[in-house]
Amino acid sequence: MSFTPEKMAPLKACRLGIDTHHEPTLYLRADSPICRSEGFESLSRILVNCQGRHIIASLNMVSSDLLEPDQAGFSESAWQRLELHANAEVWLSHPRPVQSLSYVRAKVYGHELDALQLQSIVNDIVEGRYADVHLAAFITACGDDALSDSEITALTDAMVKAGSRIDWGLEQVIDKHCVGGLPGNRTTPIVVSILTACGLTVPKTSSRAITSPAGTADTMETLTDVSLTLEQMRRVVRDQGGCLAWGGSVRLSPADDLLIQVERALDIDSEGQLIASVLSKKLAAGATHVLIDIPVGPSAKVRSQAAADRLARSFKVVASNLGLELDVLMTDGSQPVGRGIGPALEARDILAVLKNKPDAPTDLRERAILIAGAMLDMVGAAESGQGQARAREVLDSGAAWDKFHAICDAQGGLRVPPVAPYRYALVAPHACTVMGVDNRQLAKIAKLAGAPADPAAGIELHVKIGDRVEQYQPLLTIHAENAGELNYAVDYLTDHKLVLTLSDEACETTP
């Protein structure tokens, strides 16, 4: 039992204007009576009540005049979640011990968790009872295939139940997901445009980047509004058949949004949590049919055919347990798809493909057609095996571009992606052939340059594996929004030359 608020005098809320990101923080004077009477210390977890709303916040003690003894200071996230106003009366108390942390510990020690235990973990996460270190422990404990298929099923189901779920009242609602690890490869906006132009319903919600330089939501945000409310999303889908929204703003699987923040800091996302993350979002968004794209390559997220087969099998088992139709498509993951890596640079590639521009990246165009074709085949929207032909036709005719434009207009208008003012070009030291591309190093450099937080930042890759280049021909260009991050990315590139493998000798002179 936690305290009833009546036992203590309230404090006056004070907005300190400190941004602690998603972890709500409370500030109290160390010499305030409440700290003595309640035994609060720095980093204690405190239950804060105000007019029927409550959060659990981490406490930072203040020994200066920043606050009066009867004031409680709040970080921005705490202020907003409690919907406070200056001098609002707030009550502080000890939260109940978080029972579900014992299940996290059980998982660390290798025990199988049941559905109730996983639901309890997910509910406590959504209610803000987990500090970041607890989220980090849960994520790590679930790493390296530590979750069985039935645990992944239960975790997925728990994540769906902890948020909103959309019912479209339709027999077929289709969706796709790429497990990633391949920079660029921004097929989703093209695929959604093709499928909706074919009359299918594709209410696409995408995430922001977890460990990559851009997620589809980051890229789409450089082209239109993606922070749609559920009502706005319903209207866009009703009018256009599809949308390209950010999943985080519609509270679909909110546990996933919290876990992803810490996964990003750790640069870890495990197979079990990957599947639960993806499928919980799809189920919550009301999808009935889902295509999973798994790029396979030596420096992609999935590095071998065996690993891809294992992941595909788990995806299918969990989807089937939860009544979802799911197909898997394995694709070439040996190098980036398209030229741009980073939100705005990828947006530029998408526009070029949709507008059928002569310099549009062929590999991105073909990858989008492959995926859209498989999805048309999957739901029977094309004669068997004719999906790709149908997709190509819709793209070539300009119908996909018209549909994309219409969706962006419905979401608030088509925008021009920003352009980065700071650039650095890496040129070939000698004439040679490009032998290999390290996807991970490319992603790292694009992130160091500022992507995805700086939308114009990233990398423009000018070559593909097998390309022959002359001496001083540009291989890639780093884009940044400020000099500091450009220098930072260039320093890293200078230290990690193997981002591109070039043949040693100058190649033969072209005849």
Residues 67-86 that bind a copy of itself (CB under 8 A): 75-76
137 vs 191 by CB, closer to a copy of itself: 137
User: H-type helices in 47-114, by residue range?
Assistant: 76-81, 101-108
How distant, in Å, are the alpha carbons of 28, 48, 63, 99, 121 from that of 42?
A: 9, 15, 11, 22, 25
168 vs 488 by CB, closer to a copy of itself: 488
Q: Which residues of 176-211 are buried (b: 16+ CB within 10 A; e: fewer)?
A: bbbbbbbbbbbbbbbbbbbbbbbebbbbbbbbbbbb
Q: Is 482 in the site for a copy of itself (CB under 8 A)?
A: yes
Q: Is 454 in the site for a copy of itself (CB under 8 A)?
A: yes
Residues in the chain: 511
What tokens appear for 14 in the block? Answer: 């004070």
d(CA 262, CA 21): 11
Q: Is 495 in the site for a copy of itself (CB under 8 A)?
A: yes
Count of chain residues binding a copy of itself (CB under 8 A):
72
67 vs 391 by CB, closer to a copy of itself: 67
Q: Is 303 in the site for a copy of itself (CB under 8 A)?
A: no
205 contacts 281 by C-beta, under 8 angstroms: yes
3-state helix/strand/coil string of 33-56? HHHHHHCCCCCCEEEEEECCEEEE
d(CA 395, CA 401): 7
Among 416, 453, 467, 505, binds a copy of itself (CB under 8 A): 453
Nearest approach in angstroms of CB 19 to a copy of itself is: 4
Residues 313-342 that bind a copy of itself (CB under 8 A): none
3-state secondary structure of 415: coil
Residue 269 annotated in active site: yes
Residues 11-70 that bind a copy of itself (CB under 8 A): 15-21, 27, 30, 36-39, 41-43, 60-66
Using a 10 angstrom Cβ sphere, with 0-12 exposed, 13-18 middle and 19 or more buried, the burial of residue 104 is: buried
62 vs 337 by CB, closer to a copy of itself: 62
Q: Is 218 in the site for a copy of itself (CB under 8 A)?
A: no
Non-local CB neighbours of 110 within 8 Å, separated by 6+ positions: 146
Cis previous bond, 511, omega within 30: no
Neighbours of 60 (CB within 10 A): 18
Nearest approach in angstroms of CB 207 to a copy of itself is: 18
- Name the catalytic one among 225, 269, 349, 454: 269
357 vs 423 by CB, closer to a copy of itself: 423
d(CA 116, CA 151): 11
Q: Is 424 in the site for a copy of itself (CB under 8 A)?
A: no
Nearest approach in angstroms of CB 101 to a copy of itself is: 7
Q: Is 359 in the site for a copy of itself (CB under 8 A)?
A: no
Nearest approach in angstroms of CB 105 to a copy of itself is: 6
d(CA 282, CA 274): 12
Element (H, E) at 271: helix 271-284
Residues 126-185 that bind a copy of itself (CB under 8 A): 131-137, 139-141, 143-144
Nearest approach in angstroms of CB 108 to a copy of itself is: 4
Nearest approach in angstroms of CB 16 to a copy of itself is: 6
Residues 87-116 that bind a copy of itself (CB under 8 A): 93-94, 97, 101, 105, 108-110
Site string for a copy of itself, 266-295 (x = CB under 8 A): xxx-x-------------------------
d(CA 121, CA 118): 5
4 vs 397 by CB, closer to a copy of itself: 4
110 vs 199 by CB, closer to a copy of itself: 110
Part of the chain binding a copy of itself (CB under 8 A), chosen from 114-122, 182-190, 343-351, 487-495 = 487-495
Catalytic residues: 269
